[in-house]
Amino acid sequence: MPQDKIPHSILFCCDHNAIRSPMAEGMMKKFYGRSAYVQSAGVKNDMEIDGFSIAVCEEIGVHLSNHRSRSFEEMQDWGDDLGGFDLIVALSPASQRLALEMTRVFHLDVEYWPIMDPTGLAESREAKLAVYRKTRDQIRAKMIERFGAPEA
């Protein structure tokens, strides 16, 4: 896989850093190894990692159970400067707006990937798992389209 397709550092973001962006962070690390420094954040940090996200990612060998949700604000408090990322991938409209607002003085790319939020879209456990798998698979398809075939 051509390494020039993968930026040196990538931040995935969504609304709560509990479903979509942790999935993307985990898959990026699993599929592309050490090609890039990868983190994720949310507009808000008011939720823990979602159990259905953990379950559907485990199915493909991506482990999210140790993920700790954090916000853009917390990232900056912990010393992760948004301007230090080469690419920010926003997975929700709210995170795209905030990423653009917070990085307007930096020279970096902000991409928007319209990924479905699976929250509240199904009733039964099996139906919820199916919806979360669809979200996971949307992220994986966009990742492969953008960065090429995975290493693993």
Establish if 95 belongs to a structural domain: yes
Report the amino acid identity of residue 23: M
Question: Domain of 118?
Answer: 3-147
The CA distance from 96 to 100, in Å, is 6
CATH number of the domain that 98 lies in?
Answer: 3.40.50.2300
Establish if 152 belongs to a structural domain: no
- Strands 37-42 and 87-90 turn out to be unpaired
**Confidence grade of residue 1 (pLDDT, cut at 50, 70, 90):** very low
Asked if the model's pLDDT at residue 106 lies above 70, the reply is: yes
Say if residues 103 and 125 touch (Cβ distance below 8 Å): no
The CA distance from 63 to 57, in Å, is 7
pTM here is 0.92
Q: What is the pLDDT of residues 57-74, one digit of tens each?
A: 999 999 999 988 998 888
Establish if 59 belongs to a structural domain: yes
145 HSE (CA, 13 A, CB side): 7
Say if residues 103 and 88 touch (Cβ distance below 8 Å): yes
What's the total number of domains in the chain?
1
